[in-house]
Structure 1
Amino acid sequence: MEVNVKNINNLISKVYKDSIADEIGIEVGDILLSVNKEKVEDIIQYKFLISDEDIELEIQKKDNKIYLYEIEKDYDEELGIEFTNPIIDKAKSCRNKCVFCFIDQLPEGMRETLYFKDDDSRLSFLQGNFVTLTNMSEDDINNIIKYRISPINISVHTTNPELRVKMIKNKFAGRVLDIMKRLAQAGIEMNAQIVLCPGYNDKKELERTLLDLSRLHPYVNSAAIVPVGITKYRDKLAKLEIFDEKNADETIDQISKLQAKFLKELNTRFAFLSDEFYITAKRPLLKYDEYEGFVQFEDGVGMITKMGSEVIKYLDTISDDRLNKKKKVSIATGNSAYEFMCEMAKRIMDKFENIEINVYKIKNDYFGETITVTGLLTATDLIAQLKDKDLGETLYITRSMMKSDEEIFLDNITLKELEKELNIEVMPCENAGIHLVDKITK
């Protein structure tokens, strides 16, 4: 039997050595047609279907011949294949017009993929992306429940229906709490995100939102609150204010009181502010244990506390003679993390007397000075501000400045191009204290 498959989203791009797929003869370039006679249309459905102990695969080989493979395996054991398209389907785009949308504030000339707004629950499950739930059909919600897509990260922002419609500019936005209640009843675990906009969803509205979400605990595991980010490209967009020292300070006080309440009632602080609030307010961050495992780390919640603790503890475990030569290096960081990185550099230099570390604060001219986080720095600003500096033998940057699966910056400049412009080795580091220390001292 021969078939012509127009849609090759199910094209197999990798077969892991010694995996089940490898042992039965599945190859790169084969196409997965069905599992247990059910056509596979997305990655969540695929993972659900292959979880059984006895499965039947329908595979089309490169010569268009179709083979059936009957497989006995352990429950939830993977087959060992990856697909050219990670989700096997087109990502679902966002139709919202959020007043705070960062994508709407991007200049031209950046990586093309940055201009695509996704709002796909599958990417939430697979990659940790946040979804608003506003662009989902009844079938989509049923599939989350049917295929046990959990945990799912939800951009809530507010549980006030009218306010959410106003902020997200989608007439279906007001039903988020009802959908989350339905998911909680089905046992789906969720993490919530609130982009806090002064004058919109802060103060009393923020308290309302957190109290509503806390009633869904433990299915809503936590809520991360991050400040709105405003670039200089906001022509014809809604007027927004950023957090200053005063209102950041007030927000910390508000959340501290709620954390005490939640800790008493739920045995968790539940709501966590991103590091930017504490830096803006010039207040100390929470202690390591108070972040309760850093469940919202990727949202910048506790990142400085975690990394600082890791650096300090790791330095106590390693010998000060591991670096037996003089070394001069540099670190580039954003405004919000500058003082922290200076402190980390000092601790490393105190441990290793033969190393010199210069920390450079990079102003975000590309997006505007209101953007202070290191992860949104571009190669353009690195080049402009470091071109004539004495950087030593290596420049260290955070890996989060680049695309997760590729060494390319937001402004479409590659790591190699940056190294050529600065005439120096540029070393990306993960957001982990041990990784930073090892990179610098080895």
Structure 2
Amino acid sequence: MYELTEDYKLRKITKFELDMVDERDDLLIIPPSSKAGPCGNDCVFCYLTQNPPQMIYRVAKHDTLNDPELERRVAYAREHYDLWIRVTDTSANVRFDENRIESLYNAGLDEIQISLHTTKKDVRIKLMHNRNAGKVIDLIPKIVEHFRMIADIILTPGYNVSDIGKILDDLDSFGVHEVRLFPVGVTRFSKTRALTREELLFVKSVALEKQKDLGIEIVIPPIFQALLGEFTTGLEPFDIEMNIPTYILTGELAYPEMKRLFPKLNVVMVRNEVFGGNIGTAGLLTGYDVLRAIKQLPEVDLGILLLPEVMFHGDITLDGWKREELFNRILIEKGYIVETALEPQEIPKILERF
């Protein structure tokens, strides 16, 4: 899988940088460029409005379809690479109509992933606080004529949970090819609540039942599975023992699976106190959370500490810790050499060096 960078180069990516959903190997993602304008929404679940004050790394509200260079980027990718081209990060509420659909089709786009959330126009308007949010519902038949369409549903109590069966029926009747069901992420600064276990089980039950009868592909992503304690990578456990103190730090959601994969190593669950709420993904861990966790580890002459690579955005954590500064502090204060891994299967290769 690949991503087209700002300077029109291919960057190899993994599913851990996307939705953690298994994807086709020849996928090319066209993300929003720095020229992409705002999304025009004020969604009740937007993560940008529920960030803690400690957060330094911030992203502006943007929408890939509100990028004046999108067609040029798609056309470049189509001309130079024999890959499956997908546009993501869009609610399709700005700069999107039948003419734009034709324009993107002519540029060579294969697939579009839209944050749809519901098939009811009035509910989508309320959910996104955008009076134009209902228009894309009428465009769906045109969209699916030209592209493979993925509909993202962020399951939000009071908006789209109780009628998820009707939503799936509607999407199937529209001809949408795939739907992904994401539980709403809630921090301690959120105005919305997280789904209860009963609600998660209800949605899962409906989805599994509908999948038997409908043609649409219904995806329950790993984040959903993890909240139910059902996430697994499908990998066999690694039979690894180390002669020096070794610790693997991970988020709450991945902890049970990492513990299963590395039964002979020390796996430490790091609670996300900066964000709070139901935020337990490794990608949202902060430097503060990591430093708080290692206070409980013994001081050693030499040890190894493995951190999830996804907690770094470039070379900085969400709360502003530079990679080198964080690693040096851990080494000086506790004696651990710090390494990072993006995927569990990278860890054995890293540990072979020690």
The reply to whether TM is greater than 0.5 is: yes
**Counterpart pick for 1:278 among 208, 225, 228:** 225
Question: 1:407, CA displacement in angstroms?
Answer: 2.3
Aligned with 1:173: secondary structure? coil
| Mapping for residues 210-221 of structure 1, pairs under 5 Å | 210-217=168-175, 220-221=176-177
1:342 is matched with which residue: 259, 269, 273? 259
Deviations 1:71-90 (A, max 9, x none): xxxxxxxxxxxxxxx97771
Q: Matched residues in 2 for 1:15 and 1:149: separation?
A: 17
Determine the structure 1 residue equivalent to 2:148: 189
Say if 1:252 and 1:278, in contact at 8 Å, map to a contact too. no
Aligned with residue 180 of structure 2, among 198, 209, 224:
224
Task: Say if 2:46 is the partner of 1:101.
Answer: yes
Shift in Å at residue 216 of structure 1? 4.3
C-alpha distance in 2 between matches for 1:199 and 1:185: 32
Aligned residue runs from structure 1 range 259-274, under 5 A: 259-262=211-214, 266=215, 270-274=217-221
Quote the Cα distance in structure 2 between the aligned partners of 1:120 and 1:221.
20
5 Å-filtered alignment, 1:122-141, equals 122=70, 129-138=88-97, 140-141=100-101
Change beyond 3 A, Cα 1:221–1:435: farther
State whether structure 2 residue 348 is matched by structure 1 residue 440.
no
Tell me: higher relative CO, structure 1 or 2? Use CA pairs within 8 A at least 6 residues apart: 2
**How big is the shift at 1:154?**
0.7
Superposed CA deviations along residues 114-162 of structure 1, whole A, max 9, x for unmatched, are: 2301111349977863210001244544422221322221101001111
The equivalent of 2:274 in structure 1 is 366
Looking at structure 2, the residues matched to 384 and 440 of structure 1 have their Cα atoms a distance apart, in angstroms, of 24
Name 1:22's counterpart in structure 2: none
How far apart in 1 are the matches of 2:266 and 2:241? 19
Percent of aligned pairs with the same amino acid: 25
Residues 87 and 103 (structure 1), Cα distance of their counterparts in 2 relative to 1, 3 Å cut: closer
Q: Which amino acid aligns with 1:437?
A: P
1:429 matched to 2:341 = yes
Which runs of structure 2 are paired with 1:19-98 in the superposition (5 Å)? 90-98=35-43
Of residues 145, 157, 160 in structure 1, which corresponds to 2:105?
145
Change in Cα spacing, 1:271 to 1:324, as seen in structure 2 (3 Å) is closer
CA shift digits 1:6-26 (9 cap, x unpaired): xxxxxx96999xxxxxxxxxx
Counterpart pick for 1:395 among 280, 305, 325: 305
Distance change (3 Å), C-alpha of 1:127 and 1:118:
farther
Measured in 2, the distance between the counterparts of 1:358 and 1:325 equals 10
- Which of 54, 63, 70 is the matching residue for 1:119? 63
Matches within 5 A, 1:168-183: 168-183=128-143
Q: Return the offset for 1:377.
A: 0.9
Aligned equivalent of 2:322, options 399, 405, 414: 414
The residue number in structure 2 matching 1:250 is 202
Give the residue type in structure 1 aligned to 2:92: L
- Residue 71 (structure 1) aligns with: none
- In structure 1, runs of 5+ residues without a counterpart are 1-11, 17-85, 285-303, 350-356
Matched residue count: 306
Residue 208 in 1 paired to residue 120 in 2? no
Shift of 1:243: 1.6
1:330 maps to a residue whose letter is: Y
Per-residue CA distance 1:408-427 (angstroms, 9 max, x = gap): 21112121111122113222
Compared with structure 1, are the counterparts of its residues 170 and 260 closer, same or farther at alpha carbon in structure 2 (3 Å cutoff)?
Answer: same
One-letter code aligned to 1:221: H
CA distance in structure 1 between the partners assigned to 2:242 and 2:293 by the alignment: 29
1:217-245 Cα shifts (integer Å, max 9, x gaps): 4xx432111111111223xxxx4221222
Measure how far apart 1:108 and its partner are. 3.3
Decide whether aligned partners of structure 1 residues 107 and 15 sit closer, same or farther in structure 2, where only a CA change above 3 A counts.
closer
Task: From 301, 315, 330, give the equivalent of 2:247.
Answer: 330
How far apart in 2 are the matches of 1:209 and 1:440? 47
2:25 — aligned with what? none
Supply the distance in 1 between the matched residues of 2:48 and 2:39 (Cα, whole angstroms): 11
1:127/1:381 Cα in 2 relative to 1: closer, same or farther (>3 Å)? farther
Instruction: Tell me, in whole angstroms, the C-alpha distance in 2 between the residues paired with 1:200 and 1:221.
Output: 23
User: What TM-score results when the alignment is normalised by the length of structure 1?
Assistant: 0.63
Question: What SS does structure 1 have at the residue aligned with 2:305?
Answer: strand
Tell me which structure has the larger Cα radius of gyration.
Answer: 1
TM-score, reference length from structure 2: 0.77
Gaps in structure 2 of 5+ consecutive residues: 1-5, 11-30, 75-84
